[in-house]
């Protein structure tokens, strides 16, 4: 959602910022609707003032015995009331048009976001770790002997169709261990508040974080109107939906481990093998609600939090800044963290950390009261994966695979697996 006052003050700058995201100039349409809306409101207020004056004069005409004037004024008041109702309805219609138009527009990219059309134009900012050199040809996660007994795609397809997996045995335990480790790490080392949220939400919550109105095809909706969350960003961010909080309570930092659901609309033919792109998956999600003055520093802090998980798991990664053409609609700037997958011989996304400014807050009407007093202001919101659990499982398996088909597991996970340090080629924890 955008500030209409800012658009009025500098429409050219608004159009220029949106043009970086490939959006055609729209400020003239916005301002025309806004002008029509305000004109209707002014007409309604003028008609109300005239009706009030006529109403006062009715008593005087009656007292003076002027029946003609009395009847004329009564007719005028009745006419004005009809005009007022019509003008208010027309103003509401223009307001709805303006609201719908603004709600459908993406966020304005930060000035430092690189120009570009797709992922090829993203800019790498750092790397950590050195990809391991194998003395054999590494394979993808679903081809590793240790993983095969506990990673069943055929049964999942029988149960639910394509892009699902049934994990069992060591794979299920490793997946659970990864989620538990991430939660503990964020709570104990980063001070995030562990939160358990619903995975079913109302329309308003999807509008609040920007999944609606344009991206509904990317999510699943139940027959009775709930949406299955694509990520806990939706629930965690909307905790402050409609609220005005005290500035002293900021920043609010949340973390949640949830099931996530995505239709993967538009991804036909991409990553069809293995667990990389699924309709149902799990994530440990971070969300921060901050004072506007703190959101830039918070973006880097959250990126550091996600990177710290990969470092603790001893997984090489690189961090990139997404270009304007690859960035999500709600973000002002996004850092993607890409983990090294030796089976694919490339880096793949495992976390996206985005700062949204006040874009989501305006959609949610989420504000804070300044400590020194004054008018409430919109909070800033940020979100990031910390991390995608399934993709972390893939990375652990591929980076830890051995020539004999077994997998060596990161030291950080050993306490979560009762001291087990690896998975044998037959799929058992050892």
Measured distance CA(422)–CA(415) in Å, rounded: 12
The rounded distance, in Å, linking the Cα atoms of 350 and 232 is 15
Q: Is residue 373 helix, strand or coil?
A: coil
CA distances from 360 to 209, 268, 307 (A): 5, 29, 25
Question: Residue 295 annotated as binding?
Answer: no
Residues 6+ apart with CB under 8 A from 419: none
Q: Say whether 58 counts as a known binding-site residue.
A: no
Annotated ligand binding at 350? The verdict is yes
294 annotated as belonging to a binding site for a ligand: no
Q: Is 352 a catalytic residue?
A: yes
Annotated binding residue 262? yes
Catalytic residue, from 37, 363, 367, 391: name it.
391
* Residue 28 annotated as binding site: no
3-state class of 360 per DSSP?
Answer: helix
Separation CA 163–CA 220 (nearest Å): 15
367 among known catalytic residues: no
Residue of 352, 354, 363, 398 with catalytic role: 352
For tokens 């910022």, name the residue: 17
277 counts as catalytic:
yes
Sign of CA dihedral 267, 272, 275, 280: positive
Q: Is 19 annotated as contributing to ligand binding?
A: no
Which of 341, 414, 379, 318 lies closest to 144, judged by CA? 341
Known binder of ligand: residue 130? no
Q: Decide the pairing of beta strands 193-194 and 252-261.
A: parallel
Spatial strand order of the sheet with 244-246 comes to 244-246, 367-369, 377-378
Catalytic residue among 69, 76, 79, 349, which? Answer: 349
Cis peptide before 289 (omega within 30 of 0): no
235: which residues sit within 8 A by CB, 6+ positions away?
Answer: 197, 198, 199, 201, 205, 229, 256, 258
Given 262, 333, 362, 367, which residue is catalytic?
Answer: 262
Q: Is 231 annotated as a binding residue?
A: yes
Is-catalytic flag, 398? no
Q: Is residue 115 annotated as involved in ligand binding? A: no
Ligand-binding annotation for 349, yes or no, is yes
3-state secondary structure 23-76: CCCCHHHHHHHHHHHHHHHHHHHHHHHHHHHHHHHHHHHHHCCCHHHHHHHHHH
Residue 122 CA to residue 318 CA, distance in Å, equals: 12
Is residue 262 flagged as an active site residue?
yes
Among 74, 277, 318, 348, which one carries the catalytic annotation? 277
As annotated, the binding site for ATP includes 262-264, 349-352
Could you list the residues known to form a binding site for L-serine, using ranges.
231-233, 262, 285, 383, 385
Active-site residues: which are they? 262, 277, 349, 352, 391
- Mark the binding-site residues, compressed into ranges: 231-233, 262-264, 285, 349-352, 383, 385
């Amino acid at each position: 959602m955008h500030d209409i006052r800012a658009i009025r003050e500098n429409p050219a700058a608004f159009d220029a910022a949106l043009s970086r995201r490939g959006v055609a100039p729209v400020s003239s349409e916005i301002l025309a609707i806004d002008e029509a809306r305000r004109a209707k409101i002014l007409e309604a207020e003028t008609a109300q003032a005239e009706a009030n004056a006529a109403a006062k004069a009715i008593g005087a005409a009656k007292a003076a015995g002027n029946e003609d004037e009395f009847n004329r004024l009564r007719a005028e008041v009745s006419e004005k009331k009809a005009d007022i109702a019509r003008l208010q309805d027309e103003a509401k219609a223009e307001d709805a048009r303006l609201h719908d138009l603004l709600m459908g527009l993406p966020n304005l990219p930060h000035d430092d976001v690189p120009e570009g059309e797709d992922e090829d134009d993203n800019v790498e900012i750092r790397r950590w770790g050195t990809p391991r050199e194998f003395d054999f040809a590494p394979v993808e996660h679903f081809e590793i002997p240790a993983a095969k007994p506990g990673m069943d795609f055929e049964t999942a397809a029988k149960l639910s169709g394509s892009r699902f997996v049934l994990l069992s045995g060591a794979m299920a335990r490793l997946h659970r261990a990864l989620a538990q480790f991430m939660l503990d790490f964020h709570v104990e080392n980063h001070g995030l508040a562990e939160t358990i949220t619903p995975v079913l939400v109302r329309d308003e919550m999807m509008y609040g974080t920007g999944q609606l109105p344009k991206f509904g095809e990317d999510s699943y909706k139940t027959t009775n109107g709930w949406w299955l969350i694509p990520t806990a960003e939706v629930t965690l961010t909307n905790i402050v939906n409609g609220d005005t909080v005290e500035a002293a309570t900021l920043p609010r930092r949340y973390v949640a481990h949830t099931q996530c659901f995505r239709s993967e609309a538009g991804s036909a033919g991409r990553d069809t093998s293995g667990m990389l792109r699924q309709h149902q998956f799990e994530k440990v999600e971070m969300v921060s609600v901050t004072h506007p003055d703190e959101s830039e520093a918070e973006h880097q802090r959250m990126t550091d939090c996600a990177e710290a998980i990969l470092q603790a798991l001893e997984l090489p990664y690189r961090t990139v800044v997404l270009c304007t053409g690859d960035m999500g609609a709600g973000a002002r700037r996004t850092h993607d963290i890409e983990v090294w997958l030796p089976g694919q011989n490339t880096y793949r996304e495992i976390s996206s950390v985005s700062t949204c400014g006040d874009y989501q807050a305006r959609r949610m009407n989420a504000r804070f009261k300044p400590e020194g007093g004054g008018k409430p202001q919109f909070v800033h919101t940020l979100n990031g994966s910390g991390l995608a659990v399934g993709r972390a499982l893939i990375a652990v398996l591929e980076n830890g695979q051995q020539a004999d088909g077994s997998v060596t597991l990161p030291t950080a996970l050993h306490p979560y697996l009762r001291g087990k340090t690896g998975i044998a080629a037959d799929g058992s924890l050892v």
